Amino acid sequence: MTTHDDSERRAWAYLASVAEPPAASVIRLVAAIGPVDAAAAIRERSVPPGHAGVIEVTEARHMITTVDDDLAACDKMGARLLTPDDAEWPAWSLSALDRASTAARGGAPLALWVRGRAPLDVLGDTAVALVGSRAATSYGEYVAGQFASGLAAQGRAVVSGGAYGIDGAAHRGSLAAGGVTAAVLACGIDRTYPSGHARLLEEIGARGLVVSEYPPGTTAAKHRFLTRNRLVAALSGATVVVEAGRRSGATNTAAWATRLGRPLGAVPGSITSATSVGTHAMIADGQATLVADVDAVATLVTPDGEDPRGPAPTRSTDGLPRDQFRVIDAIPAHDGVSIDEIAFSSGLQVDAVRRALAGLDVAGLVDEDRGLWRLRR
């Protein structure tokens, strides 16, 4: 945290711990009254009308006293707690989760614990998720490594889940080629899970990014892998499944990519290999595009041969604090709208809209004329 005072930082750390992610009701409360007041309301069990759901999801943890320890652990690792208010928050990529999801499935995360020097928004549009079986074959690990190195050579970040098998091979391939790779974990960023990847995760933390929505100390659990998978897909411009058996967890990440409208690729293999049954099914069903080389993977994320590092038109709003992003999203392309209308469309309180508009005005993104706000050309 670089931009918030200590009370805000402590409030965010409390909010990130007080409910099991994804916690849509807590996120809504923060949007409505801000993090400091939200944290106080939860602790004091007195949330505003319309936010009763928060009481329920924070029942078990509202008394936690681990916030200072979590932040100390974070500082000790040289890590940071990122929130939608931070400039490096990949708002565009993550907001796709809100557009695609019901609350039950999980929207955007409330906050992210991040270890590593690269800004988190190196992920997103041009990054590629390489995922697949833990019980990978040597073929699958070879392909994952080759693809990751090739993507790194093109300046693309490689996102994966830090697991054995395909994930590990993808991270290693990216590191070997000097690329940025991000491991999105289903446990705290201070845990070494799986234990055999202690050194790999250390290296990713030093040269890439280790990311989690779970506070330090959180242990991996089955449901957290599924919740985590949505972030792997959301933080990547495209997802490629390298190897997957019939019931691989990678098919869940693939489903998220599809749900988010992101391109999905799958690598073919021998039809006699159990770990290619899943990828073949995705291709045969038309869910995934067959990708047989790294150029085909790159084409998934930049179909028209765009420069992967060039600014895409949608990215002018990337890196905006979440409220500003929601406000921008609520202003029509060719029309002026009042603050009340923006509050209605964005779901933000009028005060929050006013604050966000002030920021956007300073940033040169909006104009006001007789009470109507427009996007600036």
Residue 271 binds its own copies (CB under 8 A): yes
For residue 128, CA distances in Å to 65, 273, 289, 296 come to 38, 25, 14, 12
- Note whether 247 binds its own copies by CB under 8 A: no
Q: How far is the CB of 283 from its own copies (least distance, A)?
A: 5
Q: DSSP assignment of 190-205, as one string?
A: TS-SSGGGHHHHHHHH
Is 270 among the residues that bind its own copies (CB under 8 A)? yes
Helix orientation angle between 322-330 and 24-33, rounded to the nearest 10 degrees:
90
Q: Among the candidate windows 91-99, 139-147, 160-168, 349-357, which touches its own copies by CB under 8 A?
A: 139-147
Q: In what order do the strands lie in the sheet with 209-212?
A: 80-82, 112-115, 209-212, 181-184, 158-160, 124-132, 236-243, 264-266, 289-290
Cβ atoms 132, 167 nearer than 8 A: yes
Map residues 46-65 to x or -, x wherever contact with its own copies holds by CB under 8 A. Answer: --------------------
* Closer by beta carbon to its own copies, 66 or else 146: 146
The answer to the question of residue 269 lying near its own copies (CB under 8 A) is yes
Name which position in 255, 290, 337, 375 contacts its own copies (CB under 8 A): 290
Residue among 255 and 281 whose Cβ is closer to its own copies: 281
For residue 243, the SS3 value is strand
Number of chain residues interacting with its own copies (CB under 8 A): 21
Q: Is the dihedral of CA 205, 158, 198, 189 positive or negative?
A: positive
Q: State the minimum distance, in angstroms, from the CB of residue 375 to its own copies.
A: 38
Cβ 339 vs Cβ 107: under 8 Å: no
CA distances from 336 to 301, 352, 367 (A): 33, 19, 9
Q: Which stretch binds its own copies (CB under 8 A): 9-17, 196-204, 275-283, 354-362?
A: 275-283
| By CB under 8 A, residue 274 contacts its own copies | no
Q: Is 365 helix (H, G, I), strand (E, B) or coil?
A: coil
Residue 165 or 265: the one with the smaller Cβ distance to its own copies is 265
Residue 93 is encoded by which pair of tokens? 């990529």
Stretch that binds its own copies, among 85-93, 111-119, 287-295, 369-377 (CB under 8 A): 287-295
Single out the residue of 115, 191, 280, 322 in contact with its own copies (rule: CB under 8 A).
280
Q: Per rule CB under 8 A, is residue 276 in the interface with its own copies?
A: yes
Looking at 61, 77, 139, 193, which residue binds its own copies (CB under 8 A)? 139
Selected from 176, 284, 350, 358, the binder of its own copies by CB under 8 A is: 284
d(CA 10, CA 27): 16
Asked if residue 267 binds its own copies (CB under 8 A), the reply is yes
Q: Would you tell me which residues interact with its own copies (CB under 8 A)?
A: 139, 142-143, 267-272, 276-277, 280-281, 283-284, 289-293, 296
